[in-house]
């Protein structure tokens, strides 16, 4: 497994302290409110679990699933595979993503949910890859900016593999036949 990772970009410790910082910010910003975390499956699952445990306001959670990348390239098309189970009208929504890349996915989801009249929608992303942005979207909470390289670990996959790595690493181009 290690041999497929070219180099470690973010260590477990770095991730842990940054996630706690973001969680503290959310606790401050939502004091007196009861936000609902909406995780975008599957990449969000580790980040969301860690983030929510650092948040000190009452909150709820749900998940959505959308069609995503095949390999390292986006198809550009977004399809809802799993929708929210409850009503979000008048609720403060925090969308939780593993990585904001082209931004097409989150932009679609944000528009898709906004017609249900939530009180607000904000975005919390673990990683931000601004170099590849296509949609006009910015994260309200972002842990780390990453360079334009394919990264895996801490929830992020390449063809469903490497999600279990406790750190974030750059995938060796040999694995996907790049460079
Ligand atoms: P976007 O619509 O281009 O912003 O796509 C976001 C989704 O693409 C993420 O939720 C990831 O599943 C996937 N993705 C984009 N870049 C990477 C990467 O470097 N490693 C792993 N997954 C990625
Ligand atoms: Mg993925």
Q: Please tell me the distance between residue 101's alpha carbon and the centre of ligand 1 in angstroms.
A: 5
In a domain, 135, yes or no: yes
pLDDT digits (tens, 9 = 90+) for 20-49: 999 999 999 999 999 999 999 999 999 999
Are 94 and 60 in contact by the 8 Å Cβ rule? The answer is: no
Nearest-angstrom CA–CA distance, 134 and 15: 26
Spatial separation of the C-alpha atoms in residues 133 and 90, rounded to whole Å: 30
Residues paired with 159 in a beta bridge: none
Does residue 145 form part of some domain? yes
**Domain assignment of residue 113, yes or no:** yes
Q: How is the chain split among helix, strand and coil, in percent rounded to 5? A: 25, 30, 40
Is 158 contained in some domain? no
Q: How many domains does one find in the chain?
A: 1
Residue range of the domain that includes 58: 12-149
User: Which pLDDT score, from 0 to 100, does residue 151 have?
Assistant: 97
Write the pLDDT tens digit of every residue in 36-88: 999 999 999 999 999 999 999 999 999 999 986 555 555 567 889 999 999 99
> What is the value of pTM for the model shown?
0.94
CATH of the domain at 78: 3.40.50.2020
Report the pLDDT value the prediction gives residue 136, as an integer from 0 to 100.
Answer: 95
| Average predicted confidence (pLDDT) for the chain | 94
156 lines ligand 1 (CB under 6 A): yes
Task: Please indicate whether residue 38, judged by its CB atom, sits closer than 6 Å to ligand 1.
Answer: no
62 is catalytic: no
CA of 15 from ligand 2 middle (Å) equals 19
Percent of the chain residues topping a pLDDT of 90: 89
Confidence of residue 2 (pLDDT cuts 50, 70, 90): confident
Closest ligand relative to 171 C-alpha:
1
Q: Is residue 159 part of a domain?
A: no
Opening angle at CA 142, ends 138 and 143, nearest 5: 160
Residue 88 lies in a domain: yes
Can the peptide bond before residue 42 be classed as cis, meaning omega within 30 degrees of 0? Answer: yes
């Amino acid at each position: 497994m290690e041999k497929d990772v070219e180099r470690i970009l973010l260590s477990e410790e770095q991730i842990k302290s940054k996630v706690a910082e973001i969680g503290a910010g959310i606790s401050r910003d939502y004091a007196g409110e009861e936000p609902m975390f909406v995780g975008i499956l599957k990449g969000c699952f580790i980040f969301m679990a860690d983030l929510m445990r650092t948040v000190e306001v009452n909150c709820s959670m749900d998940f959505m699933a959308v069609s995503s990348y095949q390999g390292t390239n986006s198809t550009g098309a977004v399809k809802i595979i799993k929708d929210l189970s409850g009503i979000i009208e008048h609720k403060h929504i925090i969308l939780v993503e593993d990585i904001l890349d082209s931004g097409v996915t989150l932009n679609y989801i944000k528009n898709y949910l906004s017609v249900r009249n939530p009180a607000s929608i904000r975005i919390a992303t673990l990683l931000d890859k601004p170099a590849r942005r296509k949609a006009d979207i910015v994260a309200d909470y972002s842990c780390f900016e990453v360079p334009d390289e394919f990264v895996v670990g801490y929830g992020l996959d390449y063809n469903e593999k490497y999600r279990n790595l406790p750190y974030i690493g750059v995938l060796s181009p040999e694995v996907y036949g790049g460079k």
